């Protein structure tokens, strides 16, 4: 017998007895955790179908309910823009509103579309957009849901077109703050006759964040054991702190923590969580962005709002801000070294984009500075 292979097998056998597995799925099964709910789409469906996961959203739900009821009863055209930073739960809130409405009246006609479809394929996709608009014109629904409305460069004209052929129902849309600010003036001007009520989806408070964690984990656990191991009380509070009340970040931190624990079972979980936040460059990011100068936030604003999927080039930032080119390049390099931005080289040009989990924090910083206008 090959002694080296025998030793490796014996070591692996002992590791397996302690719970170490190569396969993340197997580790989750052992922990009695549903794999599906750690992924974005199934989690979105879970959120939209379970109101127990919505904390401190009562006022928003009531406000939406009144507008739904008034608009549908009086056949007055209305618009309900739902505005919030990335990963805050806008899409889940939109789906939940639809589900709550259909519990009251299952026969209400509606149309649902994600505005990202308007941009797929560029000009080649225009016939599909026109076909969707034709369907609405021929048989107008009572409600039109447009998810991620601000991702389309043509959304202003699309909304104008919808109401130009006499749509007198309710339009419900979702936006990030910068998307809404760049579009609301056009909407106010072109669609001044609409009954408009904006809903802001704000950060969860600390207590609500902890409660969200507990409630979420009780849903993903299977079997009779519904405890929240391997997370201690302190580790839950730390994740709540690092997430700054953003549900999507909580889920990402849970996912990455479990994935590392599946390989490094003996890891100290609190140290591990800090390590993950540092790796994703969100460790104390809120405090860091509060110290940024106005020009630094203006640069990040330009990176955040570029419609180009590649990102934005320093030349374009310089042209829009009219600042010294070396200053802009220096700050961009600083943001890359801090892990906030990622740089890609296409030909002889560099393009910059905001990195992963940093985006909600940058949106918050810019919102506080009121850079969305001008």
Per residue in 16-25, pLDDT tens? 665 455 567 7
pTM of the model: 0.85
Judge: domain 286-369, CATH 1.10.10.10. yes
**May I ask the CATH architecture of the domain 57-200?**
3-Layer(aba) Sandwich (3.40)
- Tell me what pLDDT residue 58 has: 87
- Tell me what pLDDT residue 10 has: 81
Question: In the chain, which ranges are continuous DSSP H helix?
Answer: 3-17, 24-30, 40-49, 58-74, 90-104, 116-119, 126-138, 155-164, 177-190, 206-220, 233-243, 247-261, 269-279, 285-290, 294-305, 314-321, 325-337, 359-369
The chain-wide mean pLDDT, for the chain, equals: 84
List, in order, residues 6 or more apart from 16 with CB less than 8 Å away.
none
State the pLDDT confidence band at 373, using cuts at 50, 70 and 90.
very low
Ordered by start, the domain boundaries in the chain are 3-39+213-279, 57-200, 286-369
State the pLDDT confidence band at 192, using cuts at 50, 70 and 90.
low
Per residue in 234-293, pLDDT (tens digit) is: 999 999 999 999 999 998 998 888 888 877 777 788 999 999 999 999 999 999 998 999
Report residue 115 as tokens: 């505005």
Average pLDDT (317-327) is 89
Which residue from 176, 170, 164 is spatially nearest to 141, judged by alpha carbons?
170
Per residue in 34-68, pLDDT (tens digit) is: 777 776 666 767 777 777 777 778 889 999 999 99
Per residue in 78-95, pLDDT (tens digit) is: 899 999 999 999 998 999
Which residue from 292, 295, 249 is spatially nearest to 273, judged by alpha carbons?
249
């Amino acid at each position: 017998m090959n002694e080296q292979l025998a030793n490796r097998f014996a070591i692996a056998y002992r590791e397996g007895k302690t719970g170490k597995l190569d396969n993340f799925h197997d580790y989750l099964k052992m922990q009695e955790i549903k794999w599906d709910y750690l992924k974005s789409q199934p989690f979105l469906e879970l959120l939209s179908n379970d109101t127990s996961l919505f904390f401190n959203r009562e006022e928003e739900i009531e406000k939406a309910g009144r507008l739904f009821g008034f608009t549908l009863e009086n056949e007055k055209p209305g618009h309900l823009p739902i505005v919030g930073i990335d990963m805050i739960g806008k899409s889940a809130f939109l789906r939940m509103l639809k589900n709550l409405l259909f519990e009251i009246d299952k026969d209400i006609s509606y149309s649902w579309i994600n505005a990202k479809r308007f941009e797929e394929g560029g000009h080649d996709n225009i016939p599909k957009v026109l076909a969707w608009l034709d369907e609405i014109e021929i048989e107008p629904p009572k409600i039109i849901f447009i998810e991620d409305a601000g991702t389309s460069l043509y959304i202003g004209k699309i909304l104008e077109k919808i109401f130009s052929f006499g749509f007198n129902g309710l339009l419900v849309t979702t936006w990030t703050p910068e998307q809404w600010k760049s579009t609301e003036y056009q909407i106010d001007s072109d669609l001044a006759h609409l009954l408009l009520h904006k809903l802001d989806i704000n950060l969860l408070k600390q207590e609500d964040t902890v409660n969200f964690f507990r409630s979420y984990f009780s849903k993903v656990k299977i079997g009779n054991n519904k405890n929240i191991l391997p997370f201690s009380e302190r580790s839950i509070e730390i994740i709540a702190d690092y997430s700054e009340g953003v549900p999507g970040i909580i889920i990402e931190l849970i996912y990455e923590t479990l994935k590392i624990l599946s390989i490094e079972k003996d890891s100290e979980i609190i140290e591990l969580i800090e390590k993950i936040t540092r790796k994703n460059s969100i460790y104390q990011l809120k405090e860091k962005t509060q110290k940024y100068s106005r020009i630094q936030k203006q640069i990040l604003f330009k990176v955040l709002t570029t419609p180009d999927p590649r990102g934005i080039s320093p030349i374009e930032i310089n042209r829009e801000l009219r600042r010294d080119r070396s200053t802009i390049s220096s700050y961009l390099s600083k943001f890359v070294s801090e892990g906030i931005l990622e740089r890609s080289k296409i030909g002889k040009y560099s393009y910059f984009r905001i990195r992963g989990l940093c985006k909600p924090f940058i949106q918050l910083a810019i919102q506080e500075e009121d850079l969305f206008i001008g």
